[in-house]
Structure 1
Amino acid sequence: MKHLTREQRNALARQLDTMRRQVLDELSNSTPGTFAQPALNAGQEVHTRADEAEAEREDGVHQAEIEIDRRRLQDIERAQLRLSEGRYGICATCGMEIPAARLLAQPTAIRCAACQAELEARSR
């Protein structure tokens, strides 16, 4: 973390706090079953296979969005922990410092751009 100035560390801490609040707001505003409402036609419920399939699809999408938000929250909280422990900004793969520009663009980054690109290339 020595490569980051106090101003940069403070800016990153604020950015992570903002990101965390946004994700928590998204999670608290997502209520299960919101999308799984049956279609209504002039006050009467319409239950067809297509309606049920669409409700299941929308519920699946909603659940996937919740899981993405949970993972984002975990990434943010891990970054905040690394920052508080003085381990923030060190590549988990090569151990080198992650450039400040990358951290400002991606505050939850755990790898430098080169190691991240290599990891992604291997996973293809």
Structure 2
Amino acid sequence: MSQNISDTFALQLQHMRTELIAQLRVQRGGKIGRAEAAPDRHDVQSGDRAQNEAERDLAMSIDARETDALTAIDAALKRIAAGSYGLCTACGVDIPTARLHANPTAERCVVCQGQFEQARGETHPSM
């Protein structure tokens, strides 16, 4: 992959990272965690315990997803720095630029990603 294309993706990834971090700070009320930002996290008397637990579980799932997204962005930026961005981490073939535009954090070609997801038991209606 040419340096200009890598630089373009690096800027896009850095922008994605900045936006995600800003979004996390807004959602969390600053630099504290989501649980600490919840005003009624200990006020079970004012609501249903099951509902509070469901909301907490949802918040933890969202946190995990956001953390995974940040991790993927950072990994892609490291691949750019190492000069391996755009190469499938499983088989080494070039990942099509269209795929990278659609998902700048992609680390595998479509075939290897499908095999990876199948091995993990993930299913998607379409790829």
TM-score (norm 1): 0.78
Q: Distance in 2 between matches of 1:21 and 1:28?
A: 11
Aligned to 2:45: 47
Aligned to 1:77: 74
Q: Distance in 1 between matches of 2:39 and 2:53?
A: 7
Structure 1 stretches of 4+ moved >6 Å: none
Q: Distance in 1 between matches of 2:72 and 2:49?
A: 35
Structure with the greater alpha carbon radius of gyration: 1
The 8 Å contact of residues 16 and 80 in structure 1, kept in 2 or not, is answered as: yes
1:112 partnered with 2:109: yes
1:95 partnered with 2:92: yes
The one-letter code sitting in structure 2 at the alignment partner of 1:47 is Q
| Aligned counterpart for 1:86 among listed residues 83, 94, 106 | 83
Alpha carbons of 1:95 and 1:36: their partners in 2 closer, same or farther (altered >3 Å)?
same
| Aligned counterpart for 1:10 among listed residues 7, 12, 15 | 7
Alignment length (residue pairs)? 114
Higher relative contact order (CA 8 A, sep 6+): 1
The 8 Å contact of residues 13 and 104 in structure 2, kept in 1 or not, is answered as: yes
The one-letter code sitting in structure 2 at the alignment partner of 1:62 is A
The 8 Å contact of residues 6 and 85 in structure 2, kept in 1 or not, is answered as: no
TM-score (norm 2): 0.76
Q: Distance in 1 between matches of 2:65 and 2:59?
A: 10
Shift of 1:110: 0.8
Of all paired residues, the percent bearing the same amino acid is: 31
The one-letter code sitting in structure 2 at the alignment partner of 1:53 is A
The 8 Å contact of residues 35 and 62 in structure 1, kept in 2 or not, is answered as: no
Give the unaligned 5+ runs of structure 2: 29-33, 122-127
The one-letter code sitting in structure 2 at the alignment partner of 1:37 is D
| Aligned counterpart for 1:61 among listed residues 40, 58, 62 | 58
CA deviations on 1:68-99 (whole Å, 9 max, x unpaired) are 11111011011001101111111111111111
CA RMSD of aligned residues (A): 2.2
Shift of 1:52: 1.6
